[in-house]
Amino acid sequence: MKIVLSRRVFFVSDPFVAFRRIVLLFFLVPSAFLAAQNRPDALLEYRNGNYEQAVAICKGEIAQTPNNMDSYVVICWSLLRMNRYQEALSYAQAGRNISRYDPRIIEILGEISYYEGRNSEALQYFQEYVNLAPEGQRIDMVYYFLGEIYIRLGRYRHADIALSTAVHWTPGNAAWWTRLAYARESAGDLAEAIGAYERALALNPQLPDARRGLERAQQALRPR
């Protein structure tokens, strides 16, 4: 007797044995499916803003499967959202010991360095991310952070390039257009700054920083 399950073929000589296998599969497959459905989902909890719950789930996953990189990534994201940078750093470093070139962990290390004010270190991590994943899932955020770091350092033309790349990837982010405009204004490129402020206000007319920046740049551009 031949039993076909998915792409695998089993040959069974005894019909009774074949019947028992079919019955066993009938009960086991739904049970496994339901167990998978009922398993806590750390990423879902993170996306729903339940960061503490996501952390708890990830800790359990790491205890059971210490090399699960997804668990290290989600727990770090959740800890970052709660401003618990040192805890995030501990898990990020542990994750990097498992997978040295995982771009998600490298981006997380860059964020931790950024929020803790270690600009040079953050730059190195973000530049490494760009090299490893030039079209990665977080590439827009990485260029945004690069732009903010260059603004901190007073390197406004570098900030212009980084933030221009960020809004290239995410053109609907009014706040990023505002920061791009500020970088251009600070570099003395007033006409380009006005264009970016106007783009920000077109996306969100309620942005006070964009409105004030536009007025400031327009006034500076008027003949005296």
The per-residue pLDDT of the chain, averaged, comes to: 88
Residue 10's pLDDT is 43
pLDDT in tens, 159-200: 999 999 999 999 999 999 999 999 999 999 999 999 999 999
| 166: containing domain | 143-224
Q: How confident is the model at residue 98 (pLDDT cuts 50, 70, 90)?
A: very high
Question: Helix or strand or coil: residue 3?
Answer: strand
CA distance 113 to 104: 14
- Of 109, 78, 80, nearest to 92 (Cα)? 109
Q: Do residue 132 and residue 45 come from a single domain?
A: yes
**What is the tally of structural domains in the chain?**
3
**Cβ neighbours of 167 (radius 10 Å):** 22
Q: How confident is the model at residue 224 (pLDDT cuts 50, 70, 90)?
A: confident
Q: Do residue 215 and residue 162 come from a single domain?
A: yes
Predicted confidence (pLDDT) at residue 27 exceeds the cutoff of 70: no
pLDDT in tens, 53-96: 999 999 999 999 999 999 999 999 999 999 999 999 999 999 99
Who contacts 48 (Cβ-Cβ below 8 Å, separation ≥6)?
none
Give CA 213 to chain center in angstroms. Answer: 29
Residue 28's pLDDT is 47
**Cβ neighbours of 208 (radius 10 Å):** 8
Q: Do residue 104 and residue 90 come from a single domain?
A: yes
Q: Do residue 133 and residue 147 come from a single domain?
A: no
Predicted confidence (pLDDT) at residue 35 exceeds the cutoff of 90: no
Residue 13's pLDDT is 52
Q: Do residue 50 and residue 28 come from a single domain?
A: no
CATH code of the domain covering residue 224: 1.25.40.10
Rounded to whole angstroms, what are the CA distances from 161 to 4, 8, 158, 185, 224? 58, 54, 5, 13, 30
Q: Do residue 157 and residue 217 come from a single domain?
A: yes
